[in-house]
Structure 1
Amino acid sequence: MFYTIIDVETSGRTNRITEISVFKYNGDTVVDEFTSLVNPNCYIPDHITALTGIDNGTVANAPDFQDIAQQILDITEDAIFVAHNVNFDYNVIRNEFKSLNIEFNRKKLCTVRLSRKLLPGHKSYSLGKLCKDLNINANGRHRARGDAEATVILFQKLQAQEKSREVFSAFLNKNSKEATLPPNLPKEIFNAIPNSIGIYYFKNKKGEIIYVGKAKDLKKRVLSTFIVNHKKAWIWFVKQQISISNYLVVNLLHCSWKMQQLNTTFHYIIKWLNVHLKVFPYLVIKTETILYILLLTTVKLLQNQ
């Protein structure tokens, strides 16, 4: 079985590739490599340059993606696409091919999710933190070749773990929920979400609420967030930023309200969040029914802080 362990650097908001590195790995050793700068034909912001060292001058004479597309197709053919936070790199490359009217489909493995499963207990599963914890010498961080090379070493360490073969097989299963959940959402938290009516929210890594939603089936809705409508920018943002998926279970089944009244309930919950979590502006709520809902909400919030 062949793997292509890949990292890309991009232009930031426009997500055009500025550098790509691919290591072809046969399960034992690296057998091929392709690394190249890429001219994104768009402006590279200063904050991206500060992170990667790549500016428009760096890529001025680099090939366009279409000039290296065939090489990428060739080296990744019949191989499993591996990356740290694989959906990001995979979707960036797939979109580049889509702009050329070329379909790009490969099986995927994510070293973030594999690390969470096979190497539990780390405070952070970012590539930099894992490299530090596992004594992986990562030269050239935030450059494609340096990060891809570090991911190769991490992948080898994952292979050496007990039950790695079973875990790899499970993650390659298209029907596996592990393959669709975001990297910072543990399976245990997802499994604890009930299949009932309620309100849920997502937090980013700083603990700030970035999205609040309502659903007839909380678990189904949360999962659907990560497997449908990937073109929406907010979906990508949630995928990259989510750190904790605490949810507010407002058990409407214990209330006399009908489902169509959930919109009103949701409206008040949002306003309550405005006041207590400073997510939006301000508003004070005073009704006996809403206080009942807020009591349940407050209890859940306190449990999750």
Structure 2
Amino acid sequence: MAETIIAREVVKRYGSVTAVDGVSLTVGEGEFFGILGPNGAGKTTLVEMMEGLRQPDSGSVTVLGEPVWPRNTRLLHRVGVQLQGTSFFERLTAHEQLATFGAVYGAPAARIDEMLELVGLTDKASTRAEKLSGGQAQRLSIACALVHDPDVVFLDEPSAALDPQARRNLWDVLRAINERGKTVVLTTHYMDEAEILCDRVAIMDGGTILQLGPPADLVRGLGAPVRIAVEAGALGQDRARQIEGAESVAGDGVSTVITTRRPAPVLQALAGMDALAGLQVRGATLEDVFLQLTGREYRA
């Protein structure tokens, strides 16, 4: 896979605070890459340096083989950026907003309708931006970042503050973008979002990368046990403790929960006991990896 983004030993300081501390990473062509971390981890600062919006104190970033700093005008037509906070022009409709952005890049008029359709806003083309819902405004923001058909797209917490339905709809849009061959770099606080969408993720804290790799590999590397739950009426706790492979057993009167690192013999035993009613199997998730690496304390 060709390397679309290369960051080498990137450092950014604000006074005595080191926001990004010697980060190196690569993003491949057509890859969906996630950057995760708690508040203050350095995610947005790192992405802004990749976008060419902020100058590193040391180190270097190249995108599509070009240095991003000093501000590289050769990249303007090849990179799309959706920031955490997007402001639209007052009193313009969704179609007019896109047309304005498109005119800056010389995008053809047909591109406007294509982008409205891609993000599911065709029926809102004549609606002023301030009248759009939060999810619709986020999709319009992404359309503005894509209107010039860039090769690389940066999305900084695009689903923040969206309701579950709007988030799921947005995921469909992001998948469609990536399926068009675009390289996508995403920052998010939602672990399920990263696990579903991203080919690889980098987990950051304190300005450094703690782990990097495909979500499934990071989860497997955790070595966490599996939790198997069945209805308490189908299997009591005493009987559950006799099952081969059961490491611990707990229950709340509704479910009996077996914790194990050997789920196969446990499931086989449950099937033999005809005790599969209400079966739920839960393995570790990317959120478990995230919490193990970054801790559980509150962040400002």
| Higher alpha-carbon Rg | 2
Structure with more strand by fraction = 2
Does TM-score exceed 0.5, indicating one fold?
A: no
TM-score by length of 1: 0.25
Identify the structure with bigger relative contact order (alpha carbons < 8 Å, sequence gap 6+). 2
